[in-house]
Amino acid sequence: MLKSWTSPSLALLVGALLSSPAWGQVIVLAEDFETLPFPPPGWTEVQSGASTNGWTAGYKLFGTAAWHDDLLGSNDNSLISPPINLLPLPNQAWMHCLQAVRFASYRDNHSVEVSLDGGITFQIIHDDVEGDTNMASLDLDLSSYAGLNGVLLSFRYTGDNASEWWVDEVVVNDIPGNILQTENNPATDHSYHLLAPSTWVQAQATAEALGGNLITIDDGAEHLWAVQNFGFDATGARRALWTGLNDLNTEGIFEWVDGSSVSYVNWAPGEPSAASADEDYVLLDATDAQFRFNDAKNINYGTLVGGALFGIAEVYMPTPVYSISNLVAGSTATFLIEHCQRLDECVIAYSISGSGPTTTWYGLVDLSMPIRALPTLTADATGTASIDIQVPLALTGVPVYSQALIVRVNGDTVLTNSLVTIIQ
Ligand SMILES: [Ca+2]
Ligand SMILES: [Ca+2]
Ligand SMILES: [Ca+2]
Ligand SMILES: [Ca+2]
């Protein structure tokens, strides 16, 4: 495989990757119920009750949601997903959605069920017991179905003159959280993930599962960067954002959840208000012009602070390290890249003509033209990519100049260290 770094082929690769919604997750189903008809193409509804209305499109949560009204009569109506292929998720699989409930005390069941036989039989994997809520994230572990094809998910409403149930933003992916957007901040060398709305406790758990914590804001520049990158949705609406600042340990003493010392705070006027004893979690307040700090309860939908509460997870982004071992003629050499992020594309390029420097699409590289590339690798869950290559016998004593290009899922690119290695 010959591939020049100055050819447009890699640029096309980067362009394709830019369409990925966020770093580090494989998504096999995503439905926001924004586009008619309802149910969406591939989804079906099975009505077994007296009502003929059943599931319809209703306005709540993020724009339009799937909605079951509290209609007269007895209802047993299931909204069923298209067949989901979990083959790309061989180890872990999760379903995430937002839900809202009204008149919960009249509910019989709001269950989520799975069918593996095309809808003939279903097994219940979740039966909601929460009270009324404007918006809650529901995160269900589907890992016992990981690697299977044709899995159906059913949202089953049962009851007689019962409750209202909204379901929206259904995602099936391979991580325990639902990442909406990812940005890397060169100023801190950290990666930041916008999480689907949740309580502070849920957001922190997701951040930890991603290898980090809710954001620690060390100075005004990081505060501004977070607001500019995550504070507004595509329509310009403002988002309230959870930070890692909290006074869980001692009322009135605010600490970052990652243990960093507090070098910067920027409270909105009148804050921290400690309006109730359990206002222990600090958000960037979307109702304040500058998104300054406000202490709030462990909630997921704050009418006082403006809309849904999105966590920002901050994850240390280590520098990728490239190495070669056993570069011996007639033997098998291992080309290794460590400390990547999961699902990074890694392109190891090499030259036998010299150490450059050569200007490429991705910056100056320590390689002389012509530059060739090994097959593109994908970093695994530990951030590692490697390939074994048989070294031809005739090449003893030949110097190999090599360097790797890392293409992040969001399209960012990083050049690794370069190596000069003489074939033994
Ligand atoms: Ca929606
Ligand atoms: Ca930080
Ligand atoms: Ca407090
Ligand atoms: Ca407050």
Cite the beta strand spans of 48-198 per DSSP E. 55-59, 64-68, 74-80, 94-102, 109-115, 123-127, 133-141, 152-160, 164-173, 179-185, 190-195
Contact 66, 167 (CB under 8 A): yes
Bridge-based pairing state of the strands 309-316 and 240-250 = parallel
Compute the distance from residue 408 Cα to the ligand 1 centre, in Å: 28
Compute the distance from residue 294 Cα to the ligand 4 centre, in Å: 5
| Mean pLDDT score across all residues of the chain | 89
Residue 15, pLDDT score? 36
Residue 187's region, left for phi above 0, alpha for psi from -120 to 50, else beta, is: alpha
Nearest ligand atom owner, CA of 288: 4
Span(s) in the chain for CATH 3.10.100.10? 190-316
pLDDT tens digits, one per residue of 341-387: 888 999 999 999 999 999 998 999 999 999 999 999 999 878 899 99
Confidence class of residue 130 from pLDDT cuts 50, 70 and 90? confident
Mapping DSSP to helix (H, G, I), strand (E, B) and coil, where does residue 62 land? coil
Stated as kind and residue range, the H or E segment containing 177 is none
What mean pLDDT comes out for the span 72-80?
Answer: 90
Name the DSSP class of 369: S
Compute the distance from residue 305 Cα to the ligand 4 centre, in Å: 9
Compute the distance from residue 137 Cα to the ligand 1 centre, in Å: 13
Contact 167, 128 (CB under 8 A): no
Span(s) in the chain for CATH 2.60.40.10? 9-15+318-422
Compute the distance from residue 231 Cα to the ligand 4 centre, in Å: 19
Compute the distance from residue 272 Cα to the ligand 3 centre, in Å: 8
Residue 182, pLDDT score? 84
CATH classification for the domain delimited by 190-316, as one of 1.10.1370.30, 1.10.540.10, 3.40.390.10, 3.10.100.10: 3.10.100.10
Compute the distance from residue 241 Cα to the ligand 2 centre, in Å: 14
Q: What CATH number labels 9-15+318-422?
A: 2.60.40.10
Token digits of residue 213: 């914590």
Compute the distance from residue 162 Cα to the ligand 4 centre, in Å: 36
Compute the distance from residue 59 Cα to the ligand 4 centre, in Å: 29
Q: Is the peptide bond before 392 cis (omega within 30 degrees of 0)?
A: no
Compute the distance from residue 131 Cα to the ligand 3 centre, in Å: 25
What mean pLDDT comes out for the span 48-73?
Answer: 84
Residue 234, pLDDT score? 81
Confidence class of residue 59 from pLDDT cuts 50, 70 and 90? confident
Q: Is the pLDDT of residue 5 over 90?
A: no
Phi, psi of 67 (to 5 degrees): -135, 135
Bridge-based pairing state of the strands 240-250 and 281-284 = antiparallel
Compute the distance from residue 314 Cα to the ligand 2 centre, in Å: 7
Span(s) in the chain for CATH 2.60.120.260? 27-173
Nearest ligand atom owner, CA of 58: 1
Q: Does domain 27-173 fall into CATH 2.60.120.260? A: yes
Model-wide pTM > 0.85: no
**Cα–Cα distance for residue pair 385/416, rounded to 1 Å:** 13
